[in-house]
Structure 1
């Protein structure tokens, strides 16, 4: 059991490192992300990881496992290329505008709620506001910052107010901004 726990901890550490590399500091690791979609060659990511002593023996299989098992579906691996689907803080990649479901969810914390009620949802340290199609995914995102508050986004009203939605994949939707008047607290 201890070995399984260590493997899970190792995958989590690898996931966090990949997140930093693909979302927040690609240049710091010598990665060049495609300006169109934010992807790089998976072999380039592997080589960049291996340049760090802690990941010197990491394998492509380990990367594939992280991509497959990441609860938040942060990564996409396709045709030998890998990318972070969302959450970038250093470079804005183009997403295709799309029509979302009638309701999306955003997880946040109770401390942020008064400001959100006044100013709406802003990207803050990221380049987009993140929302999800299902409550559990939004809860997962919001729970890590303190007491969870789940917000429903009325996407039809938001679109009427000028919000453009972008599908990032696997239930994740993005927007530049979501006004307060289209947000509702999701009750028990």
Structure 2
């Protein structure tokens, strides 16, 4: 399995479907590295601890993290299953960005950005990252979020270990549609 395939598989089992591999995540999304590797190898994935460390270290979006002694692993954000990542609310920068595609603009103008099946709406501090995210589904449209204004009105923001900004909902009144 190449690094990209391992990363995609880890995203699936650590963010959405641990049952696919037969692993258990604790309430904070952690699972035992040795059990993860045993289950992966039982399914023919052929991954050892060094390869897993390489995948975590080289993932361009830093989607995964080890605990301090590297005996546990979890996804940093993007879960569709119930986990508590213990994020603390912090003050966001004045503006954050969200990448999308034109076909969703009508719904976003009416309802704002919703978390859908995830725990949070994902935002970035820079337009380049938002552009890459939006480009996964076609020609990207970058939305500017007036996050400081949202925060002043009582909306909470969190920042994941891999620098993704998270919030529960972005009402359309805080989105600059240009």
- Map 1:30-69 to 2 at 5 A: 30-35=22-27, 37-53=28-44, 55=45, 57-69=46-58
Number of matched pairs: 175
Secondary structure in 1 matching 2:78: coil
- Check whether the contact 2:98–2:130 (CA below 8 A) recurs between aligned residues: yes
- Map 1:33-182 to 2 at 5 A: 33-35=25-27, 37-53=28-44, 55=45, 57-79=46-68, 80=70, 81-93=72-84, 94-182=86-174
* RMSD, aligned CA: 1.6
Alpha-carbon offset, residue 29 of structure 1: 1.8
Alpha-carbon offset, residue 16 of structure 1: 0.5
- Check whether the contact 1:134–1:171 (CA below 8 A) recurs between aligned residues: no
Alpha-carbon offset, residue 28 of structure 1: 3.0
Alpha-carbon offset, residue 177 of structure 1: 0.6
- Map 1:11-26 to 2 at 5 A: 11-26=3-18
Alignment gaps of 5+ in structure 1: 1-6
Alpha-carbon offset, residue 144 of structure 1: 0.6
Alpha-carbon offset, residue 172 of structure 1: 0.4
Alpha-carbon offset, residue 18 of structure 1: 0.3
Runs of 4+ aligned residues of structure 1 deviating over 6 Å after TM superposition are: none
TM-score normalized by the length of structure 2: 0.90
Alpha-carbon offset, residue 135 of structure 1: 2.0
Secondary structure in 2 matching 1:169: coil
Alpha-carbon offset, residue 70 of structure 1: 1.2
